[in-house]
Every structure is written in C-alpha cells, then in structure tokens.
C-alpha cells in the first residue's frame, strides 16, 4: 500500500486539521463516535485539502469499553437539549371496557379516517392563521408533516427540525421538510404496507442523505389500515402521538433520549454523509433503536400526532378536557394549539395532525363511485 496515508484514530485524538472541520464539528464527531460504540475509524487516501473525497471505514469488530462522554454545550444547543424534568414519559391508561364495535364483520360498513391539521410557528401571535389549517399552505416553523390516504391505507407523519442547526448554517426547516416530503413521495407509490412505517422512514432518510441536506430532526410515522383498524408506528425522538378513547388518553407514545437526555434524532452532516458514501449504512445505524409499536384501534378513537411543541405544553388532562368540549376535529386541533401557545411552558413550533376513526356505509360509498 505504498503511497497511501493510513491513520487509525479514535475519539480522543481527532485532528481537526486533517478533517478541515470546525471545533464545533470536531466536538460533535467525537460524541458521535462514542454514542455509536465504534471508536476507531480508518482514514485512507486523505488529501490535505480534500475532505469530501476521503475514504472512511468503520472497524465493526471493535467495541468501545469506555462510557459515553458528557454532552458538550454545543451538542446540547444543536439537539434542543432539555432537562429531565421536561421530558415526556411512557403513558397508558385503562378505560372501562365497553362492547367493542367490530366493523370488519359488517360488509355494509367500513372504517375511514377523518383528519384535521393545525399548527403555529414559534413566537407568532394568536389567533391561528387560516392557512395553518393546511399542511401545504401553513407555516409551522421547523416542523413538517405529511398525510397520504390511498384506498383504506393511511400514512401520517411528523418531524421536528432541530433549531440549533442554524449555528452550522443549516436550515432546520429544510431538513424536516425533506424527510417528510420523501416519506410522502414513497408512500404515494403504494409499495409500502401500513405495517411498515419504519421501512418507509428509513428509505426516506436514505433519500435525504443523497440530497446532501444537512441537519437533524425527530420523526414519527404512523401507518393505519382501515380494513383491520390496526395502527403501526415508528418513532425516533420526542415527536409522537396519543390515542384518546371514550374521552380518555389511553396511550402516549414513548419518547427517545440520547446520553444526557437529549432527544434522539436522524441527522446528516458532512462526516455522516461521507460514511454513507463509503459503504457504511448510516441509515441502519441511525434507526437501530427506533421505537416501533402496534395498536388495535376502535370506532371513534382519536389519534393526535404532534411534535414536542404540543406535548411539552399541554398535559393529558387538558387534552381530554379540550376534546370533551368539541366534536369538530378542526376546532379541537385549533384549541390544542391555542392552549399551547397561550400558556407556553417552553415556546416552540407546533404542528398537530388529528385523525378520528369513523365508519361509512359501504354500499353508499360504492354507489357514489
């Protein structure tokens, strides 16, 4: 291997002059190496001024025996760090059993989704602008979402771009929008089952990496099959959903934290992009600990999918109270967002996607076609 410059480095001896990265980038790369438990990187054919073309390979047989480093201040800002006291915890609640209405046994009725959206950009004044009841026309700051309804297969997704990426010169809104746009485009092809939201999200993340769209974001994607009433979800970070049944929040999705209680995120940066470009499946690494859940829905269940802008500011009992005062999903979504903005605990962008399980007469539906 004459003429090839090989250097074995770990997270304690990274030379920023080799990478041509800023001090902030070096600190984040150091943390990344610790978190992934792969502390050794082989750098081959590094040109002094050629960061983009460097050859990178991970030695997957070596494991770190050291504990992860504490988060740097830069990493806390970058990933929207919040103290433990403000973090959401897993939640389930038992509702007194009532006769379950099974629509699958009635050929004349079928399940469908009634959907409403609403949101607000951080530090904007109420009331909610009319355009913000539309995912296409609305302005939700760094939050983004998508809705695909095809036959009785439904995909809903939401993403929260990390505002701290602005310090790197990366627009967090563009990252979350790219992730959700690619989810929407892929789901629209019809090649994804509602039981495969993780596969959908991973393939969308693959596309984001090929676009060289740098930044990071949390994400939650739901697949809802109206023929069975089954909801399948994938969640990375602290965006998530609640399920309301008979007026009670019976389930709240689990949130993910990294070391230091920072929300887990999908991220693309120059160093992760070069890993992808040299044969390392960064998508697999990033999604390895994604939380996947399955839930059996019932008639009149309400699903509220949202970023942390809602869940950090509106507790379960207020969600239940607001829903009890409104039959309209659009009005409920508006009231949830208004409550969060008016009584901010932590000012943040907010996007809410609400869905209610309803039924229609199948014979009427066929006649209308």
Interval 141-162: pLDDT, tens = 999 999 999 988 999 999 999 9
Report the distance separating Cα 59 and Cα 224, nearest Å: 40
Confirm whether pTM is higher than 0.85: no
What is the pLDDT averaged over residues 241-253?
97
Give Dmax (Cα) for the chain.
76
pLDDT grade for 140, boundaries at 50, 70 and 90: very high
Beta strands in the chain (DSSP E): 6-9, 41-44, 55-58, 91-92, 109-120, 143-150, 153-161, 215-225, 230-236, 240-245, 248-252, 257-258, 262-263, 266-268, 291-296, 302-306, 350-361
What would the mean pLDDT of 312-335 be, rounded to a whole number?
Answer: 96
Q: How far apart are CA 154 and CA 166, in angstroms?
A: 33
pLDDT greater than 90 at residue 184: yes
Please state the rounded mean pLDDT for residues 16-30: 45
- pLDDT for 357 equals 96
Residues with Cβ within 8 Å of residue 304, at least 6 apart in sequence:
241, 242, 243, 244, 310, 319, 336, 352, 353, 354
| Mean pLDDT value across residues 223-229 | 95
On the question of a cis peptide bond just before residue 127, with omega within 30 degrees of 0, the verdict is yes
Q: What is the pLDDT of residues 272-321, one digit of tens each?
A: 877 766 777 888 888 888 999 999 999 999 999 999 999 999 999 999 99
Each residue's pLDDT tens digit, 61-74: 333 333 333 444 44
pLDDT digits (tens, 9 = 90+) for 202-212: 999 999 998 98
pLDDT averaged over every residue in the chain: 77
- CA torsion angle 279 283 288 294 (round to 10): -140
302 HSE (CA, 13 A, CB side): 24
pLDDT of 31 reads 54
Confidence of residue 259 (pLDDT cuts 50, 70, 90): low
pLDDT at residue 344 in the model? 87
pLDDT band at 35 (very low <50, low <70, confident <90, very high): low
How many other C-beta atoms lie within 10 A of the C-beta of residue 295?
A: 18
**What domains are there in the chain, each with its CATH number?**
6-69 (no CATH), 91-368 (3.60.40.10)
How far is 281 from 277, CA to CA, in rounded Å?
9
pLDDT for residue 257: 77
Report strand pairing: 230-236 vs 291-296. Answer: antiparallel
Least confident of 215-229, 257-271, 353-367: 353-367
Residue entry with tokens 């790369």: 29
Q: Which of 74-83, 103-112, 189-198, 351-360 has the lowest mean pLDDT?
A: 74-83
What is the structure's pLDDT at 27? 52
Burial (CB count <10 Å: 0-12, 13-18, 19+), residue 276: middle
């Amino acid at each position: 291997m004459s003429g090839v410059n090989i250097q074995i480095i770990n997270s304690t001896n990274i030379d920023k002059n080799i990478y041509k990265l800023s001090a902030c980038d070096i600190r984040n790369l150091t943390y990344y190496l610790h978190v992934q438990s792969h502390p050794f990187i082989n750098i081959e054919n590094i040109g002094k001024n050629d960061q983009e073309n460097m050859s990178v390979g991970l030695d997957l047989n070596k494991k770190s025996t050291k504990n992860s480093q504490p988060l740097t201040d830069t990493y806390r800002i970058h990933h929207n760090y919040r103290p433990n006291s403000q973090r959401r915890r897993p939640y389930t609640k038992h509702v007194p059993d009532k006769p379950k209405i099974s629509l699958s046994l009635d050929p004349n009725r079928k399940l469908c989704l009634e959907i409403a959206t609403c949101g607000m950009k951080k530090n904007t004044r109420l009331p909610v602008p009319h355009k913000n009841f539309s995912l296409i026309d609305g302005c939700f700051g760094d939050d983004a979402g998508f809705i695909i309804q095809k036959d009785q297969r439904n995909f809903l997704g939401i993403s929260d771009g990390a505002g701290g990426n602005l310090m790197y010169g990366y627009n967090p809104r563009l990252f979350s929008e790219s992730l959700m746009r690619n989810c929407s485009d892929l789901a629209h092809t019809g090649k994804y089952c509602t039981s495969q939201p993780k596969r959908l999200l991973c393939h969308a993340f693959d596309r984001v990496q090929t676009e060289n769209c740098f930044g990071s974001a949390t994400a939650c994607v739901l697949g809802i099959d109206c023929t069975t009433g089954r909801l399948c979800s994938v969640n990375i970070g602290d965006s998530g959903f609640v399920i309301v049944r008979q007026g009670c929040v019976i389930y709240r999705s689990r949130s993910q934290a990294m070391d230091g209680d920072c929300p887990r995120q999908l991220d693309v940066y120059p160093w992760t992009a070069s890993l992808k470009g040299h044969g390392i499946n960064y998508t697999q690494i990033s999604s390895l600990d994604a939380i996947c859940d399955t839930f059996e829905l019932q008639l009149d269940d309400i699903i509220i999918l949202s970023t942390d802008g809602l869940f950090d500011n509106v507790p379960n009992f207020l969600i239940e109270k607001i829903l009890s005062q409104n039959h309209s999903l659009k009005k409920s979504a508006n009231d949830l967002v208004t409550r969060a903005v008016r009584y901010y605990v932590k000012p943040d962008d907010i996007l809410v996607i609400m869905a209610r399980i309803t039924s229609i007469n199948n014979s009427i539906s066929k006649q209308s076609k």
